[in-house]
Amino acid sequence: MSATPPHAYVHLTAGGVSIVLDLTGGRLPAIVHWGAALGDLALADVEALAQANIEPPAGNVVDLPVRLSILPEHHTGWVGKPGIAGHRDGADWSPLFTTTTLTVDGAEHRSGLVAVGAGAVRVAAQDTVADLGLVLDIELLPSGLLRTRAEVTNEGDSFYVLDDLQLAFPVPPQAREILDFAGRWGKERIPQRRELTVGIHEREGRKGRTGPDAATVLSVGVPGFGFGRGEVWGTHVAFSGNHRHYAERLFTGFQVVGGGELLLPGEVRLADGESYETPWVYGAYGDGLDDQAHRFHDYLRSRPTHPRRARPVTINVWEAVYFDHDLARLTDLADRAAKLGVERYVLDDGWFRYRRNDLAGLGDWHVDETVWPNGLHPLVDHVRSLGMEFGLWFEPEMINLDSDLAREHPEWVMATGGRTPVPSRNQQVLNLGIPEAYDHILERMSAILTEYDIAYIKWDHNRDLIDAGTAPHGRAGVHDQTLATYRLMDELKRRFPGLEIESCSSGGARVDLGILERTDRVWVSDCIDPLERQQMNRWTMQLLPPELLGSHIASGISHTTGRYHRLSFRAGTALYGHLGIEWDLATATDDENAQLAVWIDLYKRHRELLHTGTMVRADEIDPTLLVYGAVAADRAEALFFLAYVGRSEVSPRGRFTLPGLDPDRRYRVRPVFAGAPDEGLKPPAWFDVQPPGGRADGLSAGSEVLGVSMTGRALAVVGLQTPASFPDDVVVLSVTAEA
């Protein structure tokens, strides 16, 4: 260890955010400020900030001021959740780390103030008594998004059992309201709010996958914060296995948000020289939820792996044919889809051996010769001849006990306690943490991808990991399983450049930035009911931009809810996302096919704007009306949506506003119709219908709707009168800047 530990401050600032770190006295880095940008700071300014951050002594606590580092330390007097929990045969459970080196963007610093824009900080530390080494990575990304991770290394000659390694960010006292998400299968990411009181609000995911009820982004903000206003500080754990998010308020007034991987007993036992590294834990500050979400979106869009080409219109055949795979029916579906302008065709579950229902076959990744005597070639070749890409469904992490693979290798089924875990979806988990099992699945998937021209995998994961142990000892294996899944995806992408992967997990149960490091979109939910999807898409965008959200037009009667909805609502809801179809087109009427073609054309004309523009969600004036849209980076155009998700107790609802435009530019606002306007739509005067059509309200398929010209400031502050409409419908508004 260095004789002179660093005695320094670091100021990172980017994207309207500042992070000030205190590393004085060789201590682990503490966040002095995380929030709005502070501008240029001198050393004296930072020293004053650090001094102002020291608490006065209070009754019945430790005599020295408690110092909260990014890895909260018990030895300082911190009585909240500790950053590290572990032991060496009962000892070394409260380490005291001393910083040995500090680097900023690769350059070492010993003292003073280091001020940069976006930047990467690495702190190395040691506890020579506990024989532990520690490395902390802290990054402020250009979007203003903060992220950090930790690596602990056993430097002793006996095992160190690591139970937890959690990271935390301080939040100021005015942040007293929590927002995170709950949900279930078919109804993911349901927002929930509560007051932050003394104690801990802890959200644990113990499913071996992210989960439909995951916190996703756990935020604490000033009471009443909304989309457009109110400071908010949030955290997201970028991990697809067991994980933890939490917000904590102590009786001393300290407040933090944080999290990390949730380790099962005995999952991490470090021998001499072995290390464990946490997933990235993200911190997102914003003035309003949209500002916070933009930091995630801007970061994701900046990645070199982010999908750049236009997101192809996709048809998935699941809700059209289910397990009934018939070549004539599937080629007919491809013909119908191609005529509508579909660009990608995905064959879902049921193509492999013994898979006539969900009772058998998982693990046997061979094309079923009884259904496909010539393999998949006739279908793949036909789809490709129509100019569409071909995609295929896999569930590589799962196994049916009724499969050749399970009969040959029962020890590859994840289990503990000498018993078979309780079944779920008639399936068990295939232990990819066993090298031979991993190699087998990699070989089988590679063989399929080599034989056929496959551009896309729908990667499913349909059960929680219960009793997820490893044979023969039964030790917990969720950690290894998650990392093996990551390696499998990474290796397939390496072997097959250009391959795209969709993260599906019983719908939206694996939506996190860990899986997004190697996938190209997520399936938001198995429920495509547009009324449910309005809320689920809206809140999934708190983390992900719309181009990563699989958003399909379903049949008139929803598979999961039994509700009937008009095509205008189904298509208008799906438009703001990565558009697709999940519908037996052979049952669609000529009029429905004509409308569908217009909606697909509308998507193609606007997808660049929808998938690169800034997401805007207006704060609700009425819970039955959702207003949202995409504004181009130069603010020269926008596409907004009015979603009528219920019946208001007042009629009409009054004005709605369009935030996010240039306040000093003038815009033309007009509705966009895909076919004839719905009968339930009653236009306000600002539609300016010329000439009046055949309906009493003047609207008809041939009417020209001129719309209204207003400044961006007036549209954001005053707004426009809401058109009257039946519930369960969407009105699309085109907004274009005028000279």
Residues classed as catalytic = 460, 526
Give CA–CA dist 615/629, Å, rounded.
6
Structural Rg of the chain based on CA atoms: 27
Pairing mode of beta strands 625-631, 637-644: antiparallel
Three-state secondary structure call for residue 469: strand
Pairing mode of beta strands 119-127, 132-140: antiparallel
The answer to whether residues 238 and 514 touch, using CB atoms and an 8 Å cutoff, is yes
Kindly give the residue spans of alpha helices, DSSP state H, lying in 178-308.
Answer: 289-302
Q: Which residues of 649-678 are buried (b: 16+ CB within 10 A; e: fewer)?
A: eeeebeebbbbbbbeeebbebbbebbbbbb
Contacts of 276 (CB under 8 A, 6+ apart): 151, 152, 162, 165, 268, 270
Q: Where are the beta strands (DSSP E) in 15-110?
A: 17-23, 30-36, 84-87, 98-104, 107-108
Nearest to 406 by CA among 418, 392, 416, 420: 420
Give CA–CA dist 214/510, Å, rounded.
9
Contacts of 308 (CB under 8 A, 6+ apart): none
Task: Kindly state the DSSP code that residue 147 receives in the 8-state scheme.
Answer: E
The answer to whether residues 343 and 389 touch, using CB atoms and an 8 Å cutoff, is yes
398 beta partners: 429
The answer to whether residues 86 and 160 touch, using CB atoms and an 8 Å cutoff, is yes
Give CA–CA dist 323/328, Å, rounded.
14
Give CA–CA dist 672/83, Å, rounded.
53
Other C-beta atoms closer than 10 Å to the C-beta of 155 total 17
User: What's CA 454's distance to the chain center, in Å?
Assistant: 25
Give CA–CA dist 138/171, Å, rounded.
17
Give CA–CA dist 479/174, Å, rounded.
37
Alpha-carbon distances of 429 from 38, 360, 395, 448, rounded to whole Å: 50, 13, 10, 21
Give CA–CA dist 295/639, Å, rounded.
21
Nearest to 13 by CA among 93, 128, 119, 161: 119
What values do phi and psi take at 294, rounded to 5? -60, -30
What values do phi and psi take at 637, rounded to 5? -155, 165
The answer to whether residues 643 and 623 touch, using CB atoms and an 8 Å cutoff, is no
Q: How many residues does the chain have?
A: 739
Per-residue tokens: 194 = 């509560």
Give CA–CA dist 74/384, Å, rounded.
61
Give CA–CA dist 244/246, Å, rounded.
7
SS (H, E, C) 397-464: CEECCCCHHHHHCHHHECCECCECCCCECCEEEECCCCHHHHHHHHHHHHHHHHHCCCCEEEECCCCC
